[in-house]
Amino acid sequence: MVQLNKGKFKGRDFITLNAFTAEEISYMVDVAMELKADRNAGIPHPVLQGKVLAMIFTKSSTRTRVAFEAGIYQLGGSGMFLSARDIQLGRGEPIQDTARVLSRMVDGIMIRTFSHQEVLDLAEHSSVPVINGLSDFLHPTQILADLLTIKETKGKIQGLKLTYIGDSNNVANSLLLGGSKMGMNIVIASPQGYQPVPEIMDLAWKNASLSRSTVQIVEDPVAAARGADILYTDVWASMGQEEQSEIRKKIFAPYQINDEVLGAAHPEAIVMHCLPAHRGEEITDKVIEGPQSVVFQEAENRLHAHKAIMALVM
């Protein structure tokens, strides 16, 4: 059974990877790897026996919900799904009141929501750890699973080149923060007007200077892909941006991971996507189903990464 060194993590919120050191992130990845190995070997690890995780969802979900709900059960605890329709938060109760009430009843709170400020407000007023399952600004739990996938397939994280192609959304933001912390060379290929905000870039450049890595923004996706060890993409219009879908399809049409882009990357490059994918838009069916795709390994690793987060902070 995996042995947890919880001293640095117990009781901490998991809102952004930027709140953790490279050593701490590396340890979380290693814990996730051990938990995965234990599960595959049939070894139980009920390290959260009797613990309860409240899971607030104002955004629909497949991977986040299943990973957290199955994960807390596999760790010996229980998960409580709370949609906006089910709790008073959806009827106007202040987030700080919800935080204070839940904190007295559960051992951890996961929230997947639109507004990042809601995550921050929840954490400010909660006395138990808060996990950011996704906001409009960051998606750190996804990126921990991505780092696990990269280490599994490449044997290391530091020094690799990761090229993200498409909309600079919450996933791109968290890739910039987590990747730069871990010493990866990050290239973002996005059109003007859809590139990372200065707040994220300033943090990423600061991280990169400490980890001796590089962070770049370019507009040419093929140039960005040259020599890349990892190609990564996401949908062009995230949840809540559906009304922009048609205009985004025109703007992002050149920003597709296809044979040309894959051909520019390192011959042993892997292809990643956080899912759900719009096949034929940001990625071709041939690439996502091809031998260099690790998309479904990446999706499975959400379970193991989320278990590592819960086991450590709860």
Residues 6+ apart with CB under 8 A from 217: 187, 188, 189, 190, 195, 196, 201
DSSP 14: B
Q: Is 64 annotated as a binding residue?
A: yes
Instruction: Round to whole Å and give the CA distance between 297 and 308.
Output: 17
- Active-site hit among 65, 125, 302, 306: 302
* 142 has catalytic annotation: yes
Q: Is 214 annotated as a binding residue?
A: no
CB 135 within 8 A of CB 119: yes
- Active-site hit among 65, 116, 125, 139: 139
Q: Is 274 annotated as a binding residue?
A: yes
* 234 has catalytic annotation: yes
Q: Is 100 annotated as a binding residue?
A: no
What sign for the dihedral angle of Cα 239, 245, 249, 250? negative
Q: Is 238 annotated as a binding residue?
A: yes
* 302 has catalytic annotation: yes
Inter-CA distances, 168 with 56, 156, 215, 219, 233, Å: 25, 25, 14, 12, 10
Q: Is 88 annotated as a binding residue?
A: yes
Q: Is 158 annotated as a binding residue?
A: no
Q: Is 136 annotated as a binding residue?
A: no
Q: Is 213 annotated as a binding residue?
A: no
Q: In this structure, what are the phi and psi dihedrals at residue 282, rounded to the nearest 5 degrees?
A: -75, -15
Q: Which two tokens stand for residue 168?
A: 């600079």
Q: Is 61 annotated as a binding residue?
A: yes
Q: Is 49 annotated as a binding residue?
A: no
* 136 has catalytic annotation: no
* 139 has catalytic annotation: yes
Instruction: Round to whole Å and give the CA distance between 314 and 307.
Output: 10
Across the beta sheet with 108-112, the strand order is 78-83, 52-57, 108-112, 130-134
Instruction: Round to whole Å and give the CA distance between 107 and 105.
Output: 7
- Active-site hit among 234, 248, 273, 306: 234
Q: Is 279 annotated as a binding residue?
A: no
* 278 has catalytic annotation: no
- Active-site hit among 65, 125, 142, 256: 142
- Active-site hit among 107, 248, 274, 304: 274
Instruction: Cite the beta strand spans of 58-199 per DSSP E.
Output: 78-83, 108-112, 130-134, 161-165, 185-189
CB 191 within 8 A of CB 256: no
What sign for the dihedral angle of Cα 30, 16, 108, 8? positive
Q: Is 139 annotated as a binding residue?
A: yes
Q: Is 140 annotated as a binding residue?
A: yes
Instruction: Round to whole Å and give the CA distance between 127 and 98.
Output: 12
- Active-site hit among 13, 74, 107, 112: 112
Instruction: Round to whole Å and give the CA distance between 161 and 153.
Output: 14
Q: Is 62 annotated as a binding residue?
A: yes
Q: Where is the binding site for carbamoyl phosphate, in residues?
A: 61-64, 88, 112, 139-142, 274-275, 302
Hey, which residues are catalytic here? Answer: 112, 139, 142, 234, 274, 302
Q: Where is the binding site, in residues?
A: 61-64, 88, 112, 139-142, 170, 234, 238-239, 274-275, 302
Q: Where is the binding site for L-ornithine, in residues?
A: 170, 234, 238-239
